[in-house]
Chain A
Amino acid sequence: MKSIEVMVKSLRNVAIWLFVYAIVLTASGSILLLSPVTNNFLGMLIAVSPVIPVAFILHSIMQLLQHSDELQQRIQLLSIGFSAATTGLGTFAYGLLENYIGYPQFPPLPSSFILPIMVFLWAIGMLYFKWRYR
């Protein structure tokens, strides 16, 4: 399979599993909030279930990297670096703002939001670095 085909397939898989992640996250949260599970083990399984689609997202990303040529790998490295740096800096800054007592108030950022933010910024970074090397 050509690298471009692998890339399209991997990106499609990332999008699909991100969508599944959103559904599982909502479902898991709703179940736990609306009808508290009495069995602790089952409760923990439901709470952690969004990890499954996340594992598939990571698998798709690894496939994408493995089948890419050297320039594509460089673009991916720069994109992931950009995503990690901006997410890290952004959430760190937001975390400091959460301590700010005044107006406006900054509600706590759920840690489950971090992965979608990272994937979004990874895509933005990829578009930018692909443009730079066009």
Chain B
Amino acid sequence: MILQGKRVALPPSPVVHRQFEAHARTTPDAVAVLCAGRQLTYAELDARANRFAHFLIADGHGRGAKIGVCLDYSVDLLVAILGTLKAGAAYVPFDPAYPSARLELLLGQVPDLALIVVSPATAGLVETAAVRTVVIEELADRLAVLPATGPDVEVTGDDVCYAVFTSGSTGTPKLTAVRHEGWFNLLNWLMLEYGLHSGSHNLVVSAFGFDLSQRSLMMPLFCGATQYLMASRNFDAAMAYRMLTRHDIRVVHCASSTLYLLVDWETARRGSELTTLDYVLFGGEPLHFERIADWARRPGNTCTLLHQYGVAECTDVATSYDLAGHRPAGDDIAPVGTPAYNTEIHLLDEGMRGVGVGEYGQVFICGTGVGAGYLNSTGPENERFTTVVVDGEPRRMYRTGDRGRVTEDGDLVVAGRMDAQVKVRGMRIDPADIERALGRLDGVRQAAVVLRHTDDGEAELMAFLVPSGDGLDENDVRARLLEALPRNMVPARFLSIPQIPLSPHGKVDRAALTAEFLDQYAGSGTTA
């Protein structure tokens, strides 16, 4: 089974920041970004980014370099990103909401990291790292004397533009690299397919480290529209809703769970800001449609909901579906639709043969979006980037590990994983990553983490712990884990058990864990 996206020719140099520069020339006085009362026009943002690019190049970090960015949402964040791209370098986002210990671990995973851009508010998070930090505010004098015109750096579509971390099955996060051509293709597809334009003003509501945030950050700049950023380190529904009320924002990109929070907020206060948006582009985890059904069916709701699917390894989004066509019956899973331009979805069985309509297979992604692979790994996970022969022709593909089928209407439906990876609030998480962090805590001999769903459809991580001593205090374990992992990765529930059940192959038997201990948990209160 193959789903074929429309073939659309890209420019000879499909380079994302060139599109922004074209807007800076044609509409220099349009507002490019607004954050916490500060704003920059396209011409101002372009000039600042050019100066930052000259600084990087003069400092020895030109084409092919990797620049860490650990900044709160601010106009400077866009200066750093665009300046990095203009220098021909790639940026790596570091989320300042992460605990310092996690940032240290991630920083250590970037090969040849040139430097990390910080602000006075984030410098303390990474100061012990073995990498040079540059405080962007302190560069003002140096930048002022550099040219406001762009550096003469040739960048091609095959160059890496950014790299983001995804949870890895070995317990080590993987740094996955995206190419300019793939990012350009993604943004160009969304712009042309959904008619985004210079009035498609955007609000960023997702955390900086996510792949979807890179798209949300660049989409309005690709269209000539205004980017609205919130000076908040964590998602803030009240602030987001106030921004939607005050500004002419038309588009929001988010994880499904963030859409629920926004819809809950609007419903509780009988507002209408969301229903009058042009688009919400969302996905990243299974949609619990009942959470938004009443809101979606409200009379006068003119917001188009685009339910999307993709992986960071293949430039974020691979397919999209207009949810207006979804008429759920029973437990139907909402489709994720049809492929992006220049993208193919292949559904293959274990023998790498195509499956038929309605039959389940593994989802393979093929085409322009397939990324440059993992920068910090030469291990077996690189084999996910593979070559498959289709009609006698070898094709580069990414094996997602997701199970999918195609409906009679030709839409992709994704139903779970082939492996143990889970999705929590839009973040792809490998339980091994959490299990490793738990195993490092004093008093924990062994740990296993599984996903369960609460009655109202929330995905929730649950940890089973084998204590090495007299038992564990749940609150103490949680507090220590919060110092090591992002909040999304800290399990909601902990349960001490005598031993972890294993499969005949010696792996953790997650099904048996849940079956054997969940009833016990239900009757045990919250004691670990």
Do they bind each other?
A: no
| A residues lining the B interface (CB < 8 Å) | none
